[in-house]
Amino acid sequence: MTISKGQQITIPAEFRKDLDFKAGSKVELIKKQNKIIIQPLEDDLDKLFAAAKGIKPKHKLTAKQMDELTENEIIRQ
């Protein structure tokens, strides 16, 4: 690999396919001694948020009602 004028490198297609990297994939860079490790983030926030959208609340409170309940609880303490 060669570092481009823009200080970038290209991850070879073979590695991208093996690691399921796509445009927008989140990765972590780790420096160990004189090495750089690129690894996928385990908990991709986009996937977590997408999964959270499918969870139905156990109550029927609005966000404003929950804020009011929280504020009232803080005041009681």
Quick check: is 1 in a domain?
no
- 3-class DSSP state of 15: helix
Quick check: is 7 in a domain?
no
pTM over 0.85: no
| pLDDT (0 to 100) of residue 1 | 85
| pLDDT (0 to 100) of residue 71 | 78
Quick check: is 47 in a domain?
yes
Quick check: is 59 in a domain?
yes
Quick check: is 5 in a domain?
no
Separation CA 69–CA 26 (nearest Å) = 36
Residue-range definition of the domain harbouring residue 27: 13-76
The number of folded domains in the chain is 1
Quick check: is 26 in a domain?
yes
Q: Give 10-residue mean pLDDT values along the chain (77 residues).
A: 92 91 87 92 71 79 84 69
Quick check: is 68 in a domain?
yes
| pLDDT (0 to 100) of residue 75 | 66
- 36 near 29, Cβ under 8 Å? yes
Length of the chain: 77
Quick check: is 67 in a domain?
yes
